[in-house]
Chains A and B, each alone.
Chain A
Amino acid sequence: MDSLTPDEIPLSQQAIAVLWPSFITAIVASGIFFSAFNPRDLLPFNLDADLSPLAVYSIGFLLFWLLAVLSSVGTLYFTISNCRFLGSKQGQ
């Protein structure tokens, strides 16, 4: 198999490279966070009354995932753009 240049990495592969590690990170982050803090003590009363505990934990997990996704997207973006930049310098 020839190695791919950054522009040839399929979008689906990039999506998995972002979503998958951030999913694992989000599990670890929510585990640590929610074992240290009870969401009941953090939320304002009206929100706490409106949301079931499962909803709070789920939204918390999804927010952690979103944060980790942002970080992974940044890593992927800089890696690819740096490769492209160095590649174009080599091509000159």
Chain B
Amino acid sequence: MATSQANTSEPVLYEAHKKIYPRETSGYFTRLRVISLVTLLGIYYITPLLRWNGHQAILFDLPGRKFYLFGLTLWPQDFIYLAALLILAGLALFFFTAMLGRVWCGYACPQTVWTEAYLWMERKIEGNRGQRMKLDKAPMTAAKFRIKALKQTAWITFSLWTGFTFVAYFTPVEVLAGRLLSLSLGPWETFWVLFYSFATYGNAGYMREQVCKYMCPYARFQSAMFDSDTLIVAYHPERGEPRGSRRRRVEPVSVGLGDCINCNVCVQVCPTGIDIRDGLQYECIACSLCIDACDGIMDKMSYPRGLIRYTTENSALGKTQHLVRPRIMVYAGILLLLCGLLVAHISQRVPLDLDVIRDRNTLYRETNDGLIENVYTLKILNMDSSSHRYKLTAEGIDGLKLVTDHSGIEVEAGTVYQLVVRLQADEFNLEARSVPVRFHLQAEDGNHLKTVEEARFVGPGKS
């Protein structure tokens, strides 16, 4: 047993984990990143507040079993569209990874976005890297407690707001806010607000880069999409080595050194705590903060920028770069094809559905007139945004008669209309024991609103 190791290893989440205190940076990529993060956070928190044609613009109405996406209303039957959207998102990720490397990880992944938001609060309250490290090492005092309590208050408030917003994608935001203000939030709404808040708090406040390193499947397989022309963040050892400290504005050659002054700022700014100078590592989320950090140092030293920079393997080795290559063509081809299919399919989508259920109790019966009769229950689902009157017909057998008590079929928008119909046919016209028949449903005010559903008509059969 591992008793000897058990004494030395502390109870840690993953490998002996050292808390990372990312140092603040400034520069072109840092600004680009902040713009991306703020935009994405804005989209998340503002979207539930948007309205569209009298309903919430994006609402996953679970009780009503309808998904509102602006002008489009999706029903459970349309689940295939959501699946297709997910596949598209996956393919887009492949495409952009092959082109731009881990641009998703560094600029757009929710884990990155919320981690940066929580880190921003931490910086505002606890101070810069040095102050934060000192604060954590210091014994607990009233002053430290006050700072920590303030940070926790900010984090928890932001978490709860995040959790509330998440639930507002499923329960209309005005209903949810009303219930919250009158303290009548349902048990499950409360549960999900707290669940999502806690997940955000834990992931963005504490787990941070450990989620990327140990829990993210994409981080493990993204290298499969990489090739020698994929954009990566890289240190240039041929220019930087041998590294070493020196005074300002000293020509590197004069002291027999490369351009890297070994200041370790690139390590200190790294949110995953790696040293980019060790080469491409799977922990690197390509956030490009080390580029800005190093460029700042190069400016101070009056050395040219770009010791750490965006590059490709081919470019770094002085080979020709290829923007267009088979891998890119294949990803782009599949992506465009699926996009086209999805758009075509959605534009062809008929917002009408007909369900036919044969009466299971009696196979058939004979009417007083000597006709064979089958009974069906029809469910008409009007998925359009306005109500319609429909005309129902049936065919498939010579002289087939459709009998129903319903004089007109008027179906409100977004509702299901159920009716019982009887089909009658002369036994003479039945070719077999079971004959296919087709129900045609057609809106009286729209030619494109039509659907056909097949059913079976059962009779005594030819003897």
A20 within 8 A of B: yes
Q: Is the CB of B13 within 8 A of A12?
A: yes
B2 within 8 A of A: yes
Stretch from B28-36, B187-195, B454-462 contacting the other chain: B187-195
Q: Is the CB of A8 within 8 A of B14?
A: no
Q: Quick one: given A8-B2, A20-B215, are A55 and B188 in contact (CB under 8 Å)?
A: yes
Q: Is the CB of B62 within 8 A of A57?
A: yes
The closest CB in chain A to the CB of B65 belongs to A38
Contact with A along B170-182 (1 / 0, CB 8 A): 1100000000000
Shortest Cβ distance from residue B403 to the other chain A in the assembled complex, whole angstroms:
28
Could you say which residues of chain B place their CB within 8 Å of the CB of A7? Answer: 1-2
Q: Quick one: given A38-B65, A53-B63, A54-B171, are A10 and B192 in contact (CB under 8 Å)?
A: no
Contact with B along A14-29 (1 / 0, CB 8 A): 0010001000000000
B318 within 8 A of A: no
The closest CB in chain B to the CB of A84 belongs to B1
Shortest Cβ distance from residue B321 to the other chain A in the assembled complex, whole angstroms:
35
B79 within 8 A of A: yes
Q: Quick one: given A20-B215, A38-B65, are A58 and B76 in contact (CB under 8 Å)?
A: no
Q: Is the CB of B5 within 8 A of A58?
A: no
- For chain B residues 5-29, which have a beta carbon within 8 Å of chain A? 5-6, 9, 11-15
Q: In whole angstroms, how far apart are the Cα atoms of A58 and B170 in the complex?
A: 12
Q: Quick one: given A1-B15, A8-B5, A58-B191, are A52 and B215 in contact (CB under 8 Å)?
A: no
B186 within 8 A of A: yes
Could you say which residues of chain B place their CB within 8 Å of the CB of A49? Answer: none
Q: In whole angstroms, how far apart are the Cα atoms of A45 and B187 in the complex?
A: 21
Q: Is the CB of B79 within 8 A of A35?
A: yes
The closest CB in chain B to the CB of A3 belongs to B15
Q: Is the CB of A38 within 8 A of B76?
A: yes
Of B6, B63, B65, which is within 8 A of A8 by CB? Answer: B6
Q: List 5 A-B contacts (CB under 8 A).
A: A13-B214, A34-B76, A54-B62, A54-B171, A55-B187
The closest CB in chain B to the CB of A53 belongs to B63
Could you say which residues of chain A place their CB within 8 Å of the CB of B79? Answer: 31-32, 35-36
A90 within 8 A of B: no
Q: Is the CB of A10 within 8 A of B76?
A: no
Shortest Cβ distance from residue B84 to the other chain A in the assembled complex, whole angstroms:
13
Q: In whole angstroms, how far apart are the Cα atoms of A13 and B211 in the complex?
A: 11
Q: Quick one: given A5-B2, A36-B76, A52-B63, are A58 and B12 in contact (CB under 8 Å)?
A: no
The closest CB in chain A to the CB of B61 belongs to A53
Q: Which residues of A come within 8 Å of B, CB atoms?
A: 1, 5, 7-8, 10, 12-13, 16, 20, 31-32, 34-36, 38, 52-55, 57-58
Main secondary structure of the interface of A (DSSP, over half): helix
Q: A10-B14, A16-B214 are known contacts; what are 6 more A-B pairs with Cβ within 8 Å?
A: A7-B2, A8-B5, A54-B170, A54-B186, A54-B188, A57-B62
Q: Which residues of B come within 8 Å of A, CB atoms?
A: 1-2, 5-6, 9, 11-15, 62-63, 65, 76, 79, 82, 170-171, 186-189, 191-192, 214-215
Q: In whole angstroms, how far apart are the Cα atoms of A20 and B2 in the complex?
A: 27
Q: In whole angstroms, how far apart are the Cα atoms of A54 and B186 in the complex?
A: 9
Q: Is the CB of B76 within 8 A of A54?
A: no
Could you say which residues of chain B place their CB within 8 Å of the CB of A1? Answer: 15
Q: In whole angstroms, how far apart are the Cα atoms of A1 and B281 in the complex?
A: 14
Could you say which residues of chain A place their CB within 8 Å of the CB of B1? Answer: 7
Q: Quick one: given A54-B63, A54-B171, are A16 and B215 in contact (CB under 8 Å)?
A: yes
The closest CB in chain B to the CB of A4 belongs to B15
Q: Is the CB of B12 within 8 A of A10?
A: yes
Q: Lowest 10 A-B CB distances belong to which pairs?
A: A53-B63, A35-B79, A35-B76, A58-B188, A7-B2, A54-B188, A1-B15, A55-B188, A57-B62, A12-B13
Could you say which residues of chain A place their CB within 8 Å of the CB of B11? Answer: 10, 12
Of B13, B82, B188, B191, which is within 8 A of A52 by CB? Answer: B188
Could you say which residues of chain A place their CB within 8 Å of the CB of B171? Answer: 54
Q: In whole angstroms, how far apart are the Cα atoms of A12 and B15 in the complex?
A: 12
Q: In whole angstroms, how far apart are the Cα atoms of A10 and B15 in the complex?
A: 9
Shortest Cβ distance from residue B15 to the other chain A in the assembled complex, whole angstroms:
5
Shortest Cβ distance from residue A55 to the other chain B in the assembled complex, whole angstroms:
5
Q: Is the CB of B13 within 8 A of A8?
A: no
Shortest Cβ distance from residue B176 to the other chain A in the assembled complex, whole angstroms:
11
Q: In whole angstroms, how far apart are the Cα atoms of A58 and B188 in the complex?
A: 7
Shortest Cβ distance from residue A70 to the other chain B in the assembled complex, whole angstroms:
20
Of B6, B82, B189, B214, which is within 8 A of A54 by CB? Answer: B189
Could you say which residues of chain A place their CB within 8 Å of the CB of B63? Answer: 52-54
The closest CB in chain A to the CB of B14 belongs to A13
Q: In whole angstroms, how far apart are the Cα atoms of A90 and B76 in the complex?
A: 54
Q: In whole angstroms, how far apart are the Cα atoms of A54 and B176 in the complex?
A: 13
Q: In whole angstroms, how far apart are the Cα atoms of A54 and B5 in the complex?
A: 48
